[in-house]
Amino acid sequence: MEQLVYRLLKEIGDDPDRAGLEDTPERVVRMYKELFWGYDNSKLPKITKVENGADGVLVRGMLIDKGTFFSTCEHHLVPFFGHYFFGYVAGDWVAGASKIGRTVDYYAARLQIQERLAVQVLDRLESELKPKGSIILIQARHLCKEMRGVRKFDSPYSYVETRGLFDTNDQGCKDEFFSRIGVTL
């Protein structure tokens, strides 16, 4: 892989043997191993969950988690990054608070597109938690859109994926989710 980076530096017109670049191929290889840990199935986060009501509290309302993520565009190999907002109405299980963010980070640590990231996160959480409904909004800035092409700086792109109650906006749950996260599309 170091030889590929060395050759890339030559192909773009630079001298990979100059002082500033001589260790770059090795650094890039180390960085890629760090960035793309989501391909390692042994690092798939365990979803810690408790049975709804087992601790004396039956969760009937909406649970919402928000966080940031970093990923890499599979079309241009440059970063995209932003915020995720995940909500669900619990069925039999409630997830540990940190498990949603860990799940997002795992799937974001691959070459990605925003839509697939949302689907992968919901698929995993749905299979583990079996909620009555779930929703994820991913808002991201894509450097392939900001640095090149249309060059629209700070122009987030949004994608929403819904399941269950949120598909039909049952009892206004989808509207409530957007109201609670304070994001308008």
Question: What are the structural domains of the chain?
Answer: 2-35 (no CATH), 48-181 (3.30.1130.10)
**Rounded-to-integer distance, Cα 30 and Cα 162, Å:** 36
Residue linked to tokens 């909620």? 131
pLDDT of residue 111: 98
Res. 72: pLDDT tops 80: yes
Give 113's strand partners.
none
The 10s digit of each residue's pLDDT in 137-178 is 999 999 999 999 999 999 999 999 999 999 999 999 999 999
Going by pLDDT thresholds of 50, 70 and 90, the confidence category of residue 108 is very high
**CB within 8 A of 85, min separation 6: which ones?**
64, 65, 66, 136, 137, 138, 139, 177, 181, 183
Other beta carbons within 10 Å of 22: 12
> Quick one: average pLDDT of 96-110?
97
- How much is the pTM? 0.94
Sign of CA dihedral 98, 104, 106, 108: negative
pLDDT of residue 153: 93
**Rounded-to-integer distance, Cα 6 and Cα 132, Å:** 51
Distances (CA, A) of 102 to 12, 37, 71, 178: 36, 12, 13, 22
Res. 185: pLDDT tops 80: no
The 10s digit of each residue's pLDDT in 11-62 is 999 999 999 999 999 999 999 999 999 999 999 999 999 999 999 999 999 9
Going by pLDDT thresholds of 50, 70 and 90, the confidence category of residue 183 is confident
The catalytic residue positions are 73-76, 114, 142, 144
